[in-house]
Amino acid sequence: MSRTAIVDRNTAETNFHLRLVLDGSGKSEIKTAVPFIDHMLTQVAKHGFFDLTISGEGDTHIDDHHTVEDLGICLGQAFRMALADKAGIRRYGSGTMPMHEALVSVNIDFSGRPFLVFNAELPKAKVGTFDVELVEEFCVAFCNHAGANLHVNLHYGENLHHIVEAIFKALGRALDDATQLDPRISGVRSSKGCLD
């Protein structure tokens, strides 16, 4: 079974091509018009052991909002497609990531019912040219389109770059955990017999 997905998104605001291989090795080639989010998505792939290719751009002459949100949409759609009926997957995943003074935990459930809990009060500030508040927008878009229940908890931290990078690394670890095939699971991991 090949657990891969290709997503093309072309709107008046963005144009993206994304390829995801769940059973990869953490290789990535990501080129959008927002270098900071490219760096963060590279962390997701590396720490999730996914192969991820993304190319395209958005209307960054306005700001980065549409680009970051649509990347969350595309990645969420790719996970939904690659997991198909979710047969045999662990379904639940968690990742806790320290980065210098910051500590972040991410938990995910591929339940088919999207919901985000974002317990990381990030200031309306920038890391370089990147608006940090877009991290939550990315997470909203991702969980809505992946059909996932996602919890992001910042335990502590001060440096915004460290906090954001810990969020994305922890997300990668949680995704790796939740998408693993477990030979003990017959069908889907749900007492009702489906995940939606």
Assign residue 124 the CATH number of its domain: 3.30.230.40
Q: Which helix (H) or strand (E) holds 186?
A: none
pLDDT at residue 90, rounded to an integer: 93
132-179 pLDDT per residue, tens = 999 999 999 999 999 999 999 999 999 999 999 999 999 999 999 999
pLDDT (tens digit per residue) in 4-56? 999 999 999 999 999 999 999 999 999 999 999 999 999 999 999 999 999 99
Residue 186 covered by a domain: no
pLDDT per residue as tens digits for the range 81-99: 999 989 889 999 999 999 9
To which residue do tokens 């662990």 refer? 90
Q: Domain of 131?
A: 4-179
Domain count within the chain: 1
Residue 23 within any structural domain of the chain:
yes
Which DSSP category does 89 fall into? B
- 144 lies in a domain? yes
Structural domain includes residue 96:
yes
pLDDT given at position 189: 60
Instruction: Please report whether residue 192 resides in a domain.
Output: no
For residue 190, tell me if it sits in a domain.
no
User: CA–CA separation, 63 vs 68, rounded Å?
Assistant: 10
Place of tokens 């997470």: 139
pLDDT at 195 over 60: no
Query: Is residue 61 over pLDDT 90?
Result: no
